[in-house]
């Protein structure tokens, strides 16, 4: 800065000069030097007024310089605001341009991700179709097979290897489950049919035995009653004959006694037959109760055997399904199971 700086010229300076690099320090230093070089006398009235005048000029110079700084600041703020607005425009417009340029790639990536996920989801669904938490019935397996067929002929693109393998594995597993479910159903139906036949035959046998037993009891009771009546009748007859032979004089009385004895004998015979019938009925009732108790025990044992057969059939079905999954036919799988159960395969058992 070449211009002479004094308190008188401060207001004539321009902000560009004052606030240039090093400008403020130059102005302040020169003002400090000028003011400190002014002779001041505080002992006189005139000197004190002069001091106040110089101080006032310093304040005016400060105000003028500060106003220049505010103007520079306002201009700078306007520039900053404009630059900030321009920066926002730059960011907004160029971000939009960047997104516009990238949009085809983003859309392609989204479509590609959806396509890949669709293939992977289809593979997961196929794998799920072949999984069961418990032994399925034929209807459930049939529904799963129908769902699997919907994927037949699908264009797997780069997933053709995994897709085809998953389809083949699921198809093989479901076919094995279908065979096993059919075997379980047929075995269950056969077991129920055989149980019904056996139960019917057992009831017929029990009925025949019961009838024979009751007939034998009735026959024996009647025979016993007849023998007892004949014995008593013979005993009475013998007694009557003896008495008749013992005294002719008592013939009339003997005849009456004979008639009375015959009457008693008939009553005794009838009483014996009644008692025999009672005994027969009691024996029949006791036998009926014994038969019912025996039948109840046999029915419970039959139910236990049926449950055991069903349990073994279910386990055999699971073993057959596993053997089918290993590639054995249904007939060979059954033959293997039969051999294991019969102990013809050393060191191998089936846990029931």
195 and 53 within one domain: no
Better-predicted residue by pLDDT, 48 or 10: 48
* pLDDT of amino acid 213: 87
106 and 41 within one domain: yes
Is-contact 303 244, C-beta < 8 A?
no
Q: Is the pLDDT of residue 251 over 70?
A: no
C-alpha–C-alpha distance, residues 88 and 182, integer Å: 74
Better-predicted residue by pLDDT, 1 or 94: 94
Q: Is the pLDDT of residue 217 over 50?
A: yes
The reply to whether 2 falls in a domain is no
What average pLDDT score do residues 154-176 get? 89
The reply to whether 236 falls in a domain is yes
88 and 176 within one domain: no
**Geometric angle at alpha carbon 159, from 156 and 165, rounded to 5°:** 90
> Could you please report the per-residue DSSP string of 204-233?
HHHHHHHHHHHHHHHHHHHHHHHHHHHHHH
* pLDDT of amino acid 263: 86
* pLDDT of amino acid 153: 85
Mind listing the pLDDT tens digit for each residue in 113-134? 999 999 999 999 998 988 888 8
Task: Provide the mean pLDDT of the chain.
Answer: 85
pLDDT range class, residue 87, cuts 50, 70, 90: confident
Which range has the worst mean pLDDT, 43-47, 80-84, 245-249, 331-335?
245-249
- Of 69, 97, 123, the one marking the end of a domain is 123
329 and 200 within one domain: yes
Mind listing the pLDDT tens digit for each residue in 185-211? 888 888 889 988 988 898 989 888 888
The reply to whether 56 falls in a domain is yes
297 and 163 within one domain: yes
184 and 53 within one domain: no
The reply to whether 210 falls in a domain is yes
Mind listing the pLDDT tens digit for each residue in 224-250? 888 888 888 788 787 777 766 766 676
C-alpha–C-alpha distance, residues 260 and 248, integer Å: 18
Kindly tell me the burial class for residue 176, based on how many C-beta atoms sit within 10 Å of its own C-beta (0-12, 13-18, 19 or more).
buried
* pLDDT of amino acid 247: 64
319 and 247 within one domain: yes
* pLDDT of amino acid 1: 45
- Of 95, 123, 151, the one marking the end of a domain is 123
144 and 77 within one domain: no
What average pLDDT score do residues 26-35 get? 83
Mind listing the pLDDT tens digit for each residue in 295-310? 889 898 888 888 988 8
284 and 171 within one domain: yes
Mind listing the pLDDT tens digit for each residue in 36-48? 888 888 889 998 9
Q: Is the pLDDT of residue 223 over 70?
A: yes
Is-contact 319 350, C-beta < 8 A?
yes
187 and 301 within one domain: yes
What average pLDDT score do residues 322-327 get? 86
What average pLDDT score do residues 18-38 get? 83
- Of 96, 123, 150, the one marking the end of a domain is 123
Is-contact 3 33, C-beta < 8 A?
no
Q: Which domain holds residue 314?
A: 140-341
Better-predicted residue by pLDDT, 3 or 90: 90
Total number of domains constituting the chain: 2
Q: Which residues contact 317 (CB under 8 A, 6 or more apart)?
A: 135, 180, 183, 184, 187
The reply to whether 129 falls in a domain is no
pLDDT range class, residue 348, cuts 50, 70, 90: confident
The reply to whether 81 falls in a domain is yes
174 and 113 within one domain: no
Query: What's the Rg (C-alpha) of the chain?
Result: 64
Q: Is the pLDDT of residue 63 over 50?
A: yes
The reply to whether 5 falls in a domain is no
Mind listing the pLDDT tens digit for each residue in 287-297? 888 888 888 89
Q: Which phi-psi region, left, alpha or beta, contains residue 153 (left: φ > 0; alpha: ψ -120 to 50)?
A: left
289 and 157 within one domain: yes
The reply to whether 279 falls in a domain is yes
């Amino acid at each position: 800065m070449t211009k002479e700086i004094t308190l008188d010229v401060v207001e004539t300076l321009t902000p560009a000069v004052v606030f240039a690099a090093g400008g403020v320090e130059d102005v302040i230093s020169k003002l400090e030097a000028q003011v400190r070089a002014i002779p001041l006398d505080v002992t006189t009235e005139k000197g004190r007024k002069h001091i106040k005048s110089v101080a006032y000029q310093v304040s005016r110079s400060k105000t003028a310089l500060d106003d220049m700084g505010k103007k520079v600041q306002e201009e700078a703020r306007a520039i900053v605001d404009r630059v900030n607005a321009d920066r926002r425009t730059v960011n907004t417009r160029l971000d939009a341009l960047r997104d516009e340029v990238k949009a085809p790639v983003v859309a392609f990536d989204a479509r590609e991700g959806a396509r890949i996920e669709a293939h992977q989801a289809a593979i997961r669904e196929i794998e799920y179709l072949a999984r069961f938490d418990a032994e399925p019935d034929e209807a459930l397996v049939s529904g799963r097979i129908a769902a699997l067929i919907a994927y037949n002929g699908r264009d797997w693109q780069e997933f053709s290897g995994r897709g085809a393998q998953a389809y083949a594995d699921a198809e093989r597993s479901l076919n094995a489950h279908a065979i096993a479910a059919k075997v379980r159903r047929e075995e269950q139906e056969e077991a129920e049919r055989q149980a019904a036949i056996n139960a019917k035959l057992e009831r017929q046998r029990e009925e025949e035995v019961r009838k024979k037993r009751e007939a034998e009891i009735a026959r024996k009771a009647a025979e016993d009653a007849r023998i007892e009546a004949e014995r008593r009748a013979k005993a009475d007859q013998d007694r009557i004959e003896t008495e008749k032979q013992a005294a002719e004089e008592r013939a009339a009385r003997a005849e009456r006694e004979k008639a009375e004895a015959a009457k008693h004998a008939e009553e005794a015979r009838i009483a014996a037959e009644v008692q025999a019938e009672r005994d027969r009925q009691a024996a029949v009732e006791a036998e009926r109760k014994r038969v019912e108790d025996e039948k109840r025990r046999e029915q419970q044992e039959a139910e236990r055997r049926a449950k055991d057969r069903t349990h073994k059939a279910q386990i055999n079905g699971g073993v057959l399904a596993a053997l089918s999954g290993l590639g054995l036919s249904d007939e060979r799988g059954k033959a293997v199971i039969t051999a294991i159960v019969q102990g013809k395969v050393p060191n191998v058992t089936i846990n029931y």
